Each structure stands twice: as structure tokens, then as C-alpha cells.
Structure 1
Amino acid sequence: MSASARQTLSRIETLASVNSTNDHAWQLLTDGNKSPFVCLAEQQTSGRGRRGKQWQSPAMGNLYLSLFWPFAANCPPRGLSIAIGVTLVETLNTFGINNLQLKWPNDVLCKGHKLAGILIESRYNGGYNTVIGVGLNFRLSPDLQQIVDQPVTSLEQQCSQLPCRNQLAGQLIENLIEAVEKFQCNGLNDFLQSWHSMDLLFGHPVEISNDAETFSAIAQGINANGELQYLYKGQLMSLSSSHYSIRLSL
């Protein structure tokens, strides 16, 4: 990590075990820690994914980190997961990890299998206090792969040689800081073209569902606000809510 990135952060905390790095970041804020800051953990006992799903987070040398960042009231972090997803893929590319795609709104996949996930939580208090959580699989146990409800993979399965976790974490944190600073200035303008080149769903039939409904559509990429666009009954629609589940139709 560069000296300028370290100076941007008031705190970098590493933990052996925590309920979730996102929850710990919120607690650090409650305790009065000056922001922005980062926390990392070897294990999460109650890791969370999108829509309240559990993120399996065993102590197997994976990467679990959260960056706390305060956004001003005139800069809501709408669509931020787009910028973070692009940044995560580009960081992995620099370590020789390729064949990666992004699935709206916050999953990184390798050859159709989930490699990493992003969970962004924001609370308004005169500005938008925001926690950016990233979980990246370095290794997976056979037992873990059996209990996850979708195809998953790890860097160990995709790389002939695993990258240094500390080096990757440091570079990722530095790149995330740069990404949120760009987002503050230009919104998603600096990330849209890259997302389009990485978009797993574009042009494919998808199943969109929540607790109340399920319907089929054709994914049409994202708009300037980071919303998913799709064709439904001949009309171009957009979806902003991450409370929907999006799956490629078989």
C-alpha cells in the first residue's frame, strides 16, 4: 500500500475473528474512530451477503475486509457497487487473475462460478456514512462448496500460484480509496465502460425475483445510474433495488 493511501486512513485494524467486518466497521464509528478506516479479519462468524444471506467465512486464508467511507450529503453512494466491482476485477487482473466477469449488482465470477462478493451499507446522518465490504475466496473446503446454494470457486482453483494475500489486500485497499475518490468527483462516469466489458448478464435471458414475484427478461446492461436495464414484454425497464435476485436463465 502506498504512503498516500496509508495517510488517507485513520486506522487499519486486523482481527483473528469477528462477527462481520461490516458490523465491526460500524462499531468503530460508534466508538468515535475518525474515518475513513479499514478492518480485516481472518474469519467472520456471521458474515453477511446481499438480501440478508449468510456469507460463509471460515478461517481458511480468505480475504474479508471492510472500508468505511463518509460521503457528503450531495454525493449519495447510489450505484457504488458498480465502481467497487470494476475496481476489484481490475485489481485481480494486475495479479494475473483473468477470465473474470461482473454480475449485477455486486458479484465477481470466474467461468460462471462466484469468486467474490461485495456488500455496501449506507446510513444517512447529515451525510452518507458507508461501509464497503469485500469477501474474496482464496481457498474453499469441499464441505463449504456443498452448502453454498450456487456454484463457487476460489483463487486456489483458478491460479497455478496463489498471489500473496497481504500484497493483494494492500493493493486492493489502495485501489478502493482511489475508486471512491473518483466516484465522489464523477459518479460512475469513470467505471461504466469497464463494467460493460465485464458484464456477465448483457444480452442474456435472466430470471428476476423477490419475495413477491418472479419474471423472465433479457438483460440490457446498466444505465448511467448503475441500474440494471432489461427488456420485459418488449419494453426497456430498469431495476435499482438490490433486493431482487438476478439469475441467468438455463
Structure 2
Amino acid sequence: MQDEIVKLLKKENKISDETINEIKNFDVNDFSNVVKELGKEDTEYIKQSEITEGLDTSYIGKELYIYKEVSSTNTVAKFLSRHGVENGTVIISEKQTKAKGRSGKSWESPLGGVWLSIILNPNVDHSRLPLITLSTGVAVAKTLERIGVDNPEIKWPNDIMINGKKVCGILTEAVAKFNTIENVIVGVGIDANLEVNDFPKELQDGTTTLKKELGREGNENLLIKIFLEEFEKIAKIFYEKDYELILKEWRKRSYTIGKIVEVREPFNTYYDAYVVGIGKEGALIVEKIDGSLEKVISGECIIKN
């Protein structure tokens, strides 16, 4: 993380190689205020004033840091989470050069998308982290419904689909100390005003964008505002521990339940199964070929044709 923060500071001419060499015991944490100041500078496309005007939330997005370009909003969010930012602080970037995904995957996120991370202090056990990802999926789906997308679906555990193609990914990361969760970072990337050919060729067949599905460009700032409102609504339900309501909303929009999938669990355990449903803690329930039921807590599910 230190290397990526240093790159941000150097790119914005806030620090030089000579400065780093001259400072004994260089600690990037000494520059947390500079990183915050960068997030308050003017940007070209994403505008704080347009997001916050009329924003109907009590804490989500009340503190915003918006950047022209970062390696990953999750990385910046993890850094700032250790330096006195409020619960519900949102990190946004117009571009990402090394966006983070599940299983360590990374890619570039160009102009035209919505790339953001939310810093939460949820005071939860590790076992509840999957439900935060599912809750975020519901918030994204409801956001898309509000802007006119018909039937957005949620593919377990972290993708939003339109007409069978991915339009959004979610990455939830815990910031822990001595096995205690201090913060949770919720990263969201929505392919908004992009063309499908903006993506690497190997991803184009399985990817779509809001511009393509709606037949028009949308307002990225409005999209962010609506999402923050929907996220706070579902977060309230989560904090009230009405997990069954979250799961009900998720099941209504599930792209995965009822399908044959290839389950890819950690340590190269692969098998085919039928998706029966989802458990109360967010694990996928599948029926294996031998008829036994299995809980899938982490990994991927590849839909089989």
C-alpha cells in the first residue's frame, strides 16, 4: 500500500524522489493530510457539488475525497481509514490504473465509469462480511432500477448483471488489527458511460455497460448520488440485523439460484453443482452431483451453458 500512495503523491507533484531520499525513516503516513488535500482538488468529470446537492443520506458520502487518477480507490480508502476520516467516507476516482478485484485480479478502469470505495466502521464479526457484499449488491441493483434498467440481477458473490452480462463488480475488504475488524472497505465499480470495446478483448463477450443497455449516456454524478442513498438504506437494515430482509431482496434479484455452475473454491477445488439457494450468512448452498449439499463460502461460480 505504501508504494501506491507514494506513486499518487509523486504523480501529483506533492513529493519527489529527492525528497524521499532526503527524509530519514520516510513514513508515508506523514503525508495523510496531503492525500486528503488531493481529494479536495477540482476534478473534470466527477463533481462533489453535484453529488452532495440534495443527497438524502445522514452519513454515507457526507465526507467525499475525489481524485483524478489513483491505482485503486480501495487502497486509498484503506490508507485514509487509518487517518481520522468519518464512518461513511467515500473515495472516488475518475480513473484507476490498478483496480482491485477478487483473488488478486487487477485491471485499468478508464474514464466514464463509476469507481468508488466506502469506508465503514460496522463493528461486525468476520462471519458477517459476506452479508455486506450481498447488501451492496442489492444497493447497486436498486440504483440501476431507479435509473431505468429492467431486471438487474446479482451473481453470487459480487457481480451485477444485465441481460446475462456483467456491469458492476464489488470488492469488500476488512482492515483488521489483532483479529479485530477496525474498518470495512466496500469497493464498487460500475461500467457506466463506457463502450464494450473499451475493455480487454477477453472480457468483452461477458461485459456490458449502462450506456449500451440504456441506449444513452447517463450522469455519473447522479448515479453516484442515487447509489449512496440506496447503500445507506440497506446499511440501516444491516445494522438493525434484519439479515433475512437483505437475503429476501437478494434472492429476488439472484442470477445464480437455479443454475448449474462450476464451483471454484480456493486451493484448486473445482466441481459442478446445482445452486439451491443462499444461507443466512451469505454462503451459497449447492447440490453436488452425488446429491450432497455443500456451503460455498468463498470462491467463484461459473455459470454453465
Question: Is this a same-fold pair by TM over 0.5?
Answer: yes
Residue range with higher mean Cα deviation, 48-57 or 128-137: 48-57
Kindly state the Cα deviation for residue 56 of structure 1 after the two structures are TM-superposed.
Answer: 3.4
Question: Which deviates more, 220-229 or 144-153?
Answer: 144-153
Aligned 1:178-197 pairs, distance under 5 A: 178-197=233-252
SS at match of 2:301: strand
Q: Give the aligned partner of residue 183 of structure 2.
A: 129
> Contact between 1:14 and 1:39, CA under 8 Å: does it hold in 2?
yes
CA-to-aligned-CA distance 1:21-54 (integer Å, 9 cap, x gap): 0101011122332333001111001101111111
Q: Which has the larger radius of gyration?
A: 2
How well do the aligned residues superpose, as a CA RMSD in angstroms? Answer: 2.1
Deviation at 1:235, TM superposition (A): 1.5
Measured against aligned partners, the alpha-carbon deviations of 1:155-175 in whole angstroms (never above 9, x if no partner) come to 111012333111110111122
Pick from 254, 260, 284: which aligns with 1:228?
A: 284
Work out whether 1:27 is the aligned partner of 2:79. yes
Structure 2 residue 254 is matched with structure 1 residue 174: no
Q: Which has the higher contact order (CA 8 A, sep 6+)?
A: 1
> What are the equivalent positions in structure 2 for 1:227-246 lying under 5 Å apart?
227-232=283-288, 233-241=290-298, 244-246=299-301
Distance in 1 between residues matched to 2:65 and 2:86, nearest whole Å: 13
Q: Report the AA paired with residue 190 of structure 2.
A: L
CA-CA distance at 1:55 after TM superposition = 3.8
2:156 matched to 1:104? Answer: yes
**CA 1:151 to 1:72, structure 2 compared with 1: closer, same or farther past 3 Å?**
same
Secondary structure of 1:153's partner?
coil
* Residue of structure 2 equivalent to 1:66: 117
2:68 maps to what in 1? 16
Q: Which residue of structure 1 lines up, in the alignment, with residue 96 of structure 2? A: 44
The Cα offsets for residues 98-152 of structure 1, whole Å up to 9 and x where unpaired, read as 1311110010011111100000001234444100110000113515241427610
CA shift, 1:95, in A, is 0.7
1:147-201 per-residue CA deviation (whole Å, 9 max, x = no partner) reads 4276101011101233311111011112212222221112522211121121112
Deviations 1:65-105 (A, max 9, x none): 11100011568434211111011101110110113111100
Go from structure 1 to structure 2 and tell me whether the alpha carbon gap of 1:132 and 1:187 turns closer, same or farther (over 3 Å shift). Answer: farther
Task: Determine the C-alpha separation between the residues in 2 that align with 1:9 and 1:108.
Answer: 22
TM-score by length of 2: 0.75
**Aligned pairs, how many?**
247
Q: What TM-score, normalized by structure 1, do the two folds share?
A: 0.90
Q: Percent identity?
A: 25
Question: Going by fraction, where is helix more abundant, 1 or 2?
Answer: 2
| TM alignment of 1:78-117, pairs within 5 A | 78-117=130-169
| Structure-2 change in CA distance of 1:31 and 1:239 (3 Å) | same
